Amino acid sequence: MPEWFRFDNGEAMRTGFLAAAGTSLVLAACGGGGGDSGSSGPTLGPSAEGLYNGTVNDRQATVLVTDDGRFYSEYAVAGTSLIAGVVTGTVVSVSGSLPSGTGTDYNYEGQGTNSVSLSGSYSAKQSIKATIAYSGGVKSAFSGSYDTSYDAAPSQAAVSGTFKGTSATNIGSNVALDSVTLTADAAGNITGNGTNCAFTGTIRPHAKGNLYDVGLTFGSGSGCAYPSSSATGLGVMNGNVIHAFVQTPSKAGVLFVGTKQVQ
């Protein structure tokens, strides 16, 4: 199973997420970053597609590289399994090399969002190494091994039901945390609510990999961080817990971690 990380409850979550100076990591590393989505272009030979577990700067991290050249990463607060941030963007895979990549680091430890670039190497379905550079000149290195859970087939039934959990949204250098309930029907249609923000959307199996395509439309309420906006991204199931990260067209990011409720 992939080592996806968790939100904690109460003050532990707030101090773990919002304080503590940290290095970012995983296909992105110290600092914060700017994200992109979409295809990275042609590849030669097997690409870096897959899920990788590893570390960066002594922090736990996971890196997901999709079939269309996007990458998503969660990294932990040092010495814990609390989520410290998410990095996402696009990367080119060419015959075992990662010659270029760009993205955004959404940091939950007070560093806000920052642009990153990356380069590295990989062995298809075995391992990946990447150096991540921030605009201030800071660099960090990630090394991870392939997780075969990526090869499992996703199913609509796995994400049908009600999930309760927490969302994290970067607003400048601040992070807004909210309690969220999300319900998906058998066709993948989503309805949900935060404390003061209703939303709708869809979640359906991705074409390749054990992933789910997620699209959300936020309501116009005053409690919505991005009122009347849409956002798209990916979700990953880890047992009965979903980790989903979406971005608006302006690259504002929202992370949701929720547990599926027993019917």
How far CA 133 is from CA of 21, 29, 102, 112, 123, in Å, comes to 18, 7, 10, 16, 22
Q: Are strands 139-146 and 50-56 parallel, antiparallel or unpaired?
A: antiparallel
Q: What pLDDT sits at residue 222?
A: 85
Per-10-residue mean pLDDT for the chain, 263 residues long?
A: 51 33 28 38 73 92 94 92 93 94 93 92 96 87 94 97 95 87 98 95 96 97 91 95 95 95 86
3-state secondary structure of 75: strand
**The pLDDT of residue 172:** 74
Q: What does the pLDDT read at residue 5?
A: 59
Residue 179: the pLDDT is 95
Instruction: Supply the pLDDT for residue 170.
Output: 87
55 alpha-carbon distance from chain centroid? 16
pLDDT at position 184:
98
Domains of the chain and CATH, by start: 10-150 (2.40.160), 156-260 (2.40.128.10)
pLDDT number for residue 41: 47
Q: Which residues contact 143 (CB under 8 A, 6 or more apart)?
A: 54, 55, 56, 127, 128, 129
Both tokens assigned to 112? 């806000």
Round to whole Å and give the CA distance between 112 and 131. Answer: 20
Q: What is the pTM of this model?
A: 0.84
